[in-house]
Amino acid sequence: MRYSMENGHIRADTRSIPVMDEYDVVVCGGGVAGVGAGLAAARAGLRTIILETYGALGGLATLGLVNIPLDFVSGLGREMIDELEKLDGHWHRNSDPEKHKLVLDRMMKKYGCDVLLVTPLIDTFVEGDTVRGVVVQTKTGPQVILGKRFIDASGDSDLVYFAGGAVECGRESDGISMACSLEFMLGGVDWEAYINSDLKQNDPQWIRLLAKCKEDGDPVTQIENHLNWMTHLPGRPQHCGKDEVSICIAHSRMCRPTDNRDLTRMYIEGREQADLFSRFIKKNIPGFEHSYLSQTAALLGVRESRRIVGEYRFTGEDIAYARKKPDVITISQHGFDVHGIETVGNQKWFRGRLPDGSEAYITNRGGYGSLAPPTDLPTVNMTELIPDGLYFYDIPYRSLIPTQLDGVLAAGRNISSNIFGQSGSRLILCCMSMGEAAGTAAALSLEHGVQPRALDVPTLQRTLIRQGLNIGQDYRDIGV
Amino acid sequence: MRSIYRVRGGCTLCAMCYYVCPTKAISLKPNVTAVIDAEKCIGCGQCADNCQAEAIVRVERKTDIH
Ligand SMILES: Cc1cc2nc3c(=O)[nH]c(=O)nc-3n(C[C@H](O)[C@H](O)[C@H](O)COP(=O)(O)OP(=O)(O)OC[C@H]3O[C@@H](n4cnc5c(N)ncnc54)[C@H](O)[C@@H]3O)c2cc1C
Ligand code: SF4
Ligand code: SF4
């Protein structure tokens, strides 16, 4: 291509990009949300493709070593967990990232969903307000894939952003995101010794250990103050002193996860922290005497980044009050949990309004996190007010629909939300279910010849229930 | 003797056990832990299988003699 230089930009004189293929549904991102979307659309008989930057499916759940698929298990998520269990790749809600990649590859084959790995989406082709195609980077240069419906499951809203749709990122004041974590794995662990140790059983012991480390000037206490975030890899030899664990302790602060320089900073920082922590753990934690660092994650653990601005902005209040919505497409029961944006610790409260209009620090189940709220206002745990059996909240369909763009839905950790809403709804199986709902909605909207935002929601809900997705139908009357 | 299940340390109040228990034997005590009602527990083990914190253990319980 020929370029000319202009005020710090280069301008392409002529730019003609070949069309590679045309699909009914094009999914950007092969994380669990993209996988759910692609499988659901392919299952509905549509020609579907998933585009993924890295060399495997699963996103954070595999490449990010977040091997703990939490939230309700249903629909395609149920099938994924069952397949993992057949391979001895799932127990106690923990999964084996390697087996997980394999399971996802096989599910693609089973439902006939096409995948392009190592193929980042770099631009979009928009006519009016409707997305018509995407530009991908390939080994032979940029190519275009046309489509009828697009699902942005990139985690970072890349598709909607490139298409000029409205987005937001991080906290409201300055756009800084929640802490990011580069996960790492330790081998040579005696899990039995750890799980039965006083340290695992007794939180005050951790607090004492960390207080002592702080006195000794151990740098790990500058990084995180709660070390109990370990997951056990299933199917890797157990009870013989050779187990493996994946650990989520390293934290980068003041993150800008859509800035490549900052991403690079966080990978390098994460590896240094993994080195420090693996030595700290080996020295101090029972069962880890013979442990060693086996790998850091290929994909940085970005909890939260660019999110679409959609028809409904899902918030912390929705979680705190366990709100139910008429257009529910999946449910979650995980409380909000913002990992320290600026500082060590995690925050499970925010300043907000109670139903009577007065201000308070609103928390939810599971305490405050390690950052306590200030004392100038009362602290109210809203979950105490919620009747038994209704400890879950709804994700509304409107949060998947961008405000201006047509032909597009979002799914996963980049749906329309504020930082507190996002921090609860981002769990792996919830993201996968959002994907399943988005893929199903894409298919129904094509079948009925309407834009996704005009889709008849009860029809979508009935279809999701018939497909075995848990949208709360067992716990209350949804009315469809 | 029959087996029942009990919550020991490490509970994160994630509520998974609460949703999977077929006999509704589990309640959640905010800021504490999940609690299993020994009278309602039938020992099926689903709560322990679903607990990511491995916070639920099996205990042997003597049958009451009246
Ligand atoms: C450190 C950490 C700990 C967590 N702990 C838990 C936990 O304990 N339990 C739990 O259930 N959840 C946990 N989560 C949350 C959960 O892992 C994620 O929210 C969830 O996996 C997100 O899935 P997703 O598909 O929406 O996004 P992602 O997994 O981020 O997938 C997005 C995919 O899109 C690809 N992509 C991005 N841009 C492009 C592009 N332009 N073109 C092509 N492909 C692109 C990426 O490579 C990636 O594969 C944790 C997250 C983190 C970071
Ligand atoms: S063992 Fe079964 S019955 Fe008992 S508390 Fe657990 S899930 Fe409920
Ligand atoms: S599943 Fe485990 S961690 Fe979750 S509430 Fe029950 S006992 Fe606690």
The alpha carbon dihedral of A195, A196, A197, A201 has a sign of positive
Inter-residue contact B46 to B20 (CB < 8 Å): yes
State the amino acid at position A423 in one-letter form: S
Per-position b or e across A168-182, b if 16+ CB within 10 A of its CB: bbbbeeeebbbbbbb
- CB contact (8 A) between residue B15 and residue A365: yes
Question: Residue B59: nearest ligand to its CA?
Answer: 2
Cβ contact A189:A200 at 8 Å: no
Residue of B13, B52, B54 with shortest CB distance to A70:
B52
CA A200 to each of CA A192, A196, A208, A228, B53: distance values in angstroms, whole numbers, following the listed order: 11, 7, 13, 8, 10
Residues pairing with A393 in the sheet:
A332
CA atoms within 13 A on the CB side of A176: 13
Model pLDDT for residues A428-476, shown as the tens digit of each residue: 999 999 999 999 999 999 999 999 999 999 999 999 999 999 999 988 8
- CB-hemisphere CA count at 13 Å for A414? 32
Q: Locate the ligand 2 atom nearest the alpha carbon of residue B42 and give its number.
A: 3
Q: What is the pLDDT of residues A218-262, one digit of tens each?
A: 888 888 877 667 888 887 876 566 899 999 999 999 999 999 999
Give the integer Cα–Cα distance in Å for A263 and A471. Answer: 35
Report the chain B residue with the minimal C-alpha distance to residue A334. Answer: B14
CA atoms within a 13 Å half-sphere pointing along the CA-CB vector of A254: 4
At A47 the pLDDT is 98
**ipTM value for the complex:** 0.76
How far apart are the C-alpha atoms of A417 and A393, rounded to whole Å?
A: 14
Domain B2-61 fold: Alpha-Beta Plaits (3.30.70)
B8: nearest CA in chain A? A201
Nearest by Cα to A320 from A475, A171, A424, A168: A424
Which of residues 74 through 103 in chain A touch B, CB cutoff 8 A?
91-94
A320 burial class (0-12, 13-18, 19+ CB within 10 angstroms)?
buried
Report residue B59's pLDDT band, with 50, 70 and 90 as the boundaries.
Answer: confident
Contacts of B46 (CB under 8 A, 6+ apart): B17, B20, B21, B22
What pLDDT digit, counting tens, does each position of A93-135 carry?
Answer: 999 999 999 999 999 999 999 999 999 999 999 999 999 999 9
Contact B14 A366 (CB under 8 A): yes
Rounded (10°) CA dihedral A142, A146, A152, A156? 20
Interchain proximity B28–A391, CB inside 8 Å: yes
**pLDDT exceeds 60 at position B66:** no
* Residue A16: CB atoms within 10 Å: 7
The pLDDT value recorded for residue A239 is 54
Domain boundary assignment for chain B: 2-61
Q: If 0-12 CB within 10 Å is exposed, 13-18 middle and 19+ buried, where does residue A229 land? A: middle
pLDDT score at A192: 84
> What are the φ and ψ backbone dihedral angles of A390, each rounded to 5 degrees?
-120, 30
- What's the CA gap between A162 and A137, in Å, rounded? 14
Contacts with A200 from chain B: Cβ below 8 Å? 9-10
CA-to-CA distance for A287 and A53, rounded, in angstroms?
37
Q: Which atom of ligand 2 is nearest to the CA of B56?
A: 6
Q: CB distance from B51 to chain A under 8 Å?
A: yes
Q: In the prediction, which pLDDT does A79 show?
A: 98
Instruction: Please tell me if the CB atom of residue B21 comes closer than 6 angstroms to any atom of ligand 2.
Output: yes
Element (H, E) at A380: strand A379-381
For chain A (480 residues), the mean pLDDT of every run of 10, in chain order, is 78 84 98 98 98 98 96 96 96 94 98 98 97 97 97 98 98 96 94 82 74 83 77 75 88 97 98 94 92 96 98 95 94 91 90 89 80 90 75 95 97 98 96 98 98 98 97 89
A232 vs B contacts (CB less than 8 Å): 54
